[in-house]
Structure 1
Amino acid sequence: MCRNIHQLHNFEPPATADEVHAAALQYVRKVAGTTRPSQANQAAFDQAVAVITAATRELLDALVTSAPPKDRAVEAAKARARAERRYAS
């Protein structure tokens, strides 16, 4: 369920609002143990996603590093290569 949470810090261009929201949604899904909450829990689920999205954005804005920003395309290629090695038969 949480495999879609990726590192968001130190990329050029910076993480988008959609990426931050997707990570928060995956986190809440994992903690709640469900991908689709019941109607009775929908408001609490949505509130948690909003709070975690805001906290994640605040964290990303506050983090500093001396490392050069990573390139998304290069990191995606590395991940594909790792997956190919891992799942090669």
Structure 2
Amino acid sequence: MCRNIRTLHNFEPRADAAEIEAAALQYVRKISGSTKPSKANQEAFDHAVHEVAHVTGHLLDALVTTAPPKNREVEAAKARARSAERYATA
């Protein structure tokens, strides 16, 4: 489940609201142990996702670094290469 949470800090362009929301959703799914909450829990689940996304946005705004921003395409290519190496059949 949490493999879908990606690093959001220090990218150019900055992480947008949709990326932050997706990470928050994955986090709440992981800690709740549920990918789809029951109707009785839907409101609490949605509220948690909203709150985690809100706090994550504040965190990303507050973080500072001296490192140059990363390029999304380059980082995605590195991840694909690691995955290909990890799952290569012998």
Indicate whether the TM-score tops 0.5. Answer: yes
Runs of 4+ in 1 over 3 A off after TM superposition: none
1:32 equivalent in structure 2:
32
- CA deviation after TM superposition for structure 1 residue 49, in Å: 0.3
- CA deviation after TM superposition for structure 1 residue 11, in Å: 0.2
1:10 equivalent in structure 2:
10
Mapping of residues 69-88 of structure 1, within 5 Å: 69-88=69-88
Superposed CA deviations along residues 21-72 of structure 1, whole A, max 9, x for unmatched, are 0000000000000100000000000000000000000000000000000000
* Identical pairs, percent: 67
Counterpart of 2:64 in structure 1: which amino acid?
A: V
1:61 equivalent in structure 2:
61
2:52 equivalent in structure 1:
52
Aligned-residue Cα RMSD (Å) equals 0.3
Counterpart of 2:19 in structure 1: which amino acid?
A: E
Paired with 1:41 and 1:33, the residues of 2 have a C-alpha distance of 12
